Structure 1
Amino acid sequence: MMMEGVEFCFPHLLNSSCRKALRPVSVSMLIYMIISSISVLTATLNLLVIISISHFKQLHTPTNFLLLSLAVSDFFVGLYLLFYIMFIDGCWYFGEFMCILYYVIGTINTSSSIGTMVLISVDRYVAICDPLHYPIKVTAKRVQTCVSLCWSFSALAGSYLLKDNLKQQSRFNSCVGECVVHINFIEYVADLALNFLLPITVIIVLYLRIFVVVVSQVRAMRSHTAGVTYQCSRKGNPKKSEMKAARTLGIVVIAFLSCTLPFYCVTLTGQNAFLNGSSSAFVLCLFYFNSCLNPIVYALFYPWFRKSIKFIVTFQILKSGSRNANIVKVTE
């Protein structure tokens, strides 16, 4: 309904309804198409990763279990974006409880993604810096335990962070159709430290160390010397497959930092207005677009992922004994 150039979210509640964000139809359609495409592509690609690692026994490795955790989180981001599409015009049509649940799920996904990135960094650090003890230190069971703890902590942290909003759902809404949450200053600082500053610092430090060791290994191989001056590299030489995995996952981490840092920088400056404004919307879209990039990186650098996709799309995965298919070559 239009009234003096104003369109309301709920026309029958003129006195209490929120106003829609008015923009040209062509612009709205373009935004919807872009976000819908990202949403479908993100959910589809990550679902392929989930099916691949879950189905094929040869892919049941500690590193791949971490990739599986990341893919699950990214898959839910793809579904999460569907609700974001509804929210672009500034109106929330799903009720107060779903509004809080929307933010809770988003918080859990974000926290679990960052936690998994930390675990991936630790995994690569041990594989490169201490390759002789890697099979002993990093086992599938330990990784599964760490992943479970990561998701459990994310769920508890997300629920605790928004507990006041769950108790009084409409307390912070100024009109019907609005979906905002409130976090007090202490909780905000704690969340920022635990979900951004500390994990990002750990990821950067570990990968800088990995980079130093990889460079030292390359120099050692080129000069045909057995000794390397760096402490980590004296514990053994990592396999070529481990080095390749470190480079691939390094790209994943760089993409992750490139997509998430702008969002957290905006958050630190306090300029984000709960999805209001084109700049905030762009930063948020970039933040979620990272979930679509990860499986693309796998497709480019992991032959096993490309091979598993062929099995899935050609329905060979439905054949008896497909779980034992040779997906990973010995040379990979």
Structure 2
Amino acid sequence: MMLNASDWLVPSVDPELDPCSNYTAAWLWLSSLQPTYMALISVVGFVGNGLVLCVFCLQRKPCSVADVYLGNLAAADLVMMSCLPFWAVTIARGYQWEFGEVLCKLVNVVISMNYICSVLFLVLVCVDRYLALVKPMSCSRLRRVSWAKRLCVGIWSLGFLLTFPTMLFRTVAFVEDANVNACILDYPHPAWRLHHNITRNLLGFLIPVLVVTYCTRHIVAALSDRGAGVLPGVRAERKATDLVLAVWVVFLFCWTPHQVMRFLDTIDYFQLTPGCLWGHILDIGIQLSTYLAYSNSAINPFLFVIVGKQFRRRAGEVFGKTLNPWSKESTYLTGSFASVNRLNEKQRISIETLDKSVLRQTLS
């Protein structure tokens, strides 16, 4: 997600000259809430996604294809959460960027990559659920872990390429109206803004939604098949699919408003809706939808815990072993004592049997 100067800087207006100056109060109110909000979701998202990655990396069983995609999704969210504090500090200081031009580019490239990579990882994991439930007999390469890892590398590379304009045009410049050195997206031509919005709306939303909708429709039909539902393998796939669908629904809830606002911003580019009132509503709407979108990265770890039954079991195994490092040794000792007890019991039974045999021979 890329934000230009108008997305971040509070407009400087003269109440006597601007009839829409009353909306400056809304901007100031948003600016006062943003640092605290961004700091909160950064901490929650960083800790939560870090724990999710620990479970996927430290679990005993090999990762499945869905695990690979969900793990990369958590990694994208984790990296983005580590970048939000830079903007929290910047907004708290009146949009004065004090971290240099290199971090200005790097931080915003990472934030931009998060969205593209996240939505594509979700598409891949939905396709994997489609192949597992709707086409269980197919031998698709997409259901191989080795190919899943290659696809993830390709998605990270594609995400970087799509954010290359951010690397080029993000810069630290003095903004006279706000009297600050701000980290802004300085496009050489306004048409770049149109290109950015269309790319995000189509590649980053419309096409993925169509693909996932197609897969989901067939997945739901497969899960409704009572005959297939009694099979142990299908039950396991169903549990994994519940988590994937929950993550997708929350993704739509968090990101759809932002995509709608980007589409309206495209319409505004053609000046089809003139007037300062519409401009202020659009600017504030982009702000609110942006921070709702940020929340998605902090919510995902809770979905893993609440919806993912298999994930909870794996987390219990991983963190149970981490918090109690003696559990393996105690299990070994317990097993050893049990083996000794069983051996002693067998010896006792053998002796008793021998004694009875000797006794019978004596009596006979």
Normalised by the shorter chain, which TM-score bucket? 0.7 to 0.9
Q: Normalising by the residue count of structure 2, what TM-score does the alignment of the two structures yield? A: 0.67
SS in 1 for 2:36: helix
- Cα 1:310–1:212 change in 2 (3 A) is closer
Q: Return the TM-score normalized by structure 1.
A: 0.73
What residue in structure 1 maps to residue 81 of structure 2? Answer: 78
Q: Secondary structure of 1:209's partner?
A: helix
2:68–2:148 Cα contact (<8 Å) kept: yes
Counterpart of 1:214 in structure 2 is: 223
Of 258, 261, 266, the match for 1:263: 258
1:125 matched to 2:130? The reply is yes
- Of the structure 1 ranges 252-261 and 72-81, higher mean CA displacement relative to structure 2 is found in 72-81
Q: Counterpart of 1:115?
A: 120
Letter in 2 for 1:200: V
CA distance in 1, matches of 2:80, 2:323: 26
Flag the 1:210–1:171 CA change in 2: closer, same or farther, 3 A. Answer: same
Give the Cα–Cα distance (whole angstroms) in 2 for the partners of residues 67 and 118 of structure 1: 11
Output aligned runs, 1:30-45, within 5 Å. 31-45=34-48
Contact 1:42 1:74 in 2 (8 A): yes
Q: Residues 245-324 of structure 1: matches in 2 within 5 Å?
A: 245-270=240-265, 278-310=284-316, 316=322, 319=325
- 2:150 pairs with 145, 150, 163, which one? 145
Equivalent residue of 1:132, what SS?
coil
Matched, 1:67 2:67: no
Tell me by how many angstroms 1:260 deviates: 0.5
Among 197, 210, 213, which residue is 2:206 paired with? 197
Per the alignment, residue 92 of structure 1 pairs with 96
Q: Secondary structure at the match of 1:130?
A: coil
Q: 2: distance between equivalents of 1:179 and 1:38?
A: 22
Once the two structures are superposed, what CA deviation does each residue of 1:109-150 show, in whole Å capped at 9, x if it has no partner? 111101101111111110110123368650111111111111
> Structure 1 residues 238, 135: CA separation in 2 closer, same or farther (over 3 Å shift)?
farther
Q: Post-superposition shift, 1:194?
A: 1.7
CA distance in 2, matches of 1:292, 1:278: 22
Corresponding residue of 2:181: 177
Letter in 1 for 2:182: E
CA RMSD in angstroms, aligned pairs only:
3.8
Tell me, yes or no, if the aligned pair for 1:165 and 1:171 is still in contact at 8 Å. Answer: no
- 2:72–2:121 contact (8 Å) kept in structure 1: yes
Conserved in 2, the CA contact under 8 Å of 1:36 and 1:85?
Answer: yes
Question: Aligned equivalents of 1:289 and 1:187: distance in 2?
Answer: 22
Unaligned ranges ≥5, structure 2: 1-9, 11-23, 269-277, 332-364
Could you list the runs of 5+ residues in structure 1 that have no partner in the other structure?
Answer: 1-6, 8-20, 225-235, 326-332
Q: Which amino acid aligns with 1:179?
A: C
> Identity of counterpart residues, as a percentage?
21
Q: What amino acid is aligned across from residue 75 of structure 1 in structure 2?
A: L
Per-residue deviation, 1:101? 2.2
Q: CA deviation at 1:295?
A: 1.2
- Equivalents in 2 of 1:32, 1:277: separation in Å? 18
CA deviation vs aligned residue, 1:176-219 (integer Å, no higher than 9, x gap): 3222213343354234322222122212222122223322x13x
* Cα distance in structure 1, aligned partners of 2:64 and 2:38: 33
Q: Is the 8 A contact 1:118 1:203 kept in 2?
A: yes
Amino acid at match of 2:291: C
Q: Distance in 2 between matches of 1:118 and 1:136?
A: 16
Structure with more of its chain in helix, by fraction: 2
User: Are residues 85 and 125 of structure 1, via their aligned partners in 2, closer, same or farther at CA, if it must alter by over 3 Å?
Assistant: same
Given candidates 106, 123, 128, the residue that maps to 2:111 is 106
| Mapping 1:237-252, distance limit 5 Å | 239-252=234-247
The 2-side partners of 1:291 and 1:273 are apart by: 28
Question: In 2, Cα distance between the equivalents of 1:206 and 1:240?
Answer: 18
Computing the radius of gyration over CA atoms, which structure comes out larger, 1 or 2?
2
Alpha-carbon distance in 1 for matches of 2:83, 2:60: 30
Which amino acid counterpart does residue 193 of structure 1 have in structure 2? Answer: L
Instruction: Say if 1:286 and 1:186 are closer, same or farther in 2 by CA, change over 3 A.
Output: closer
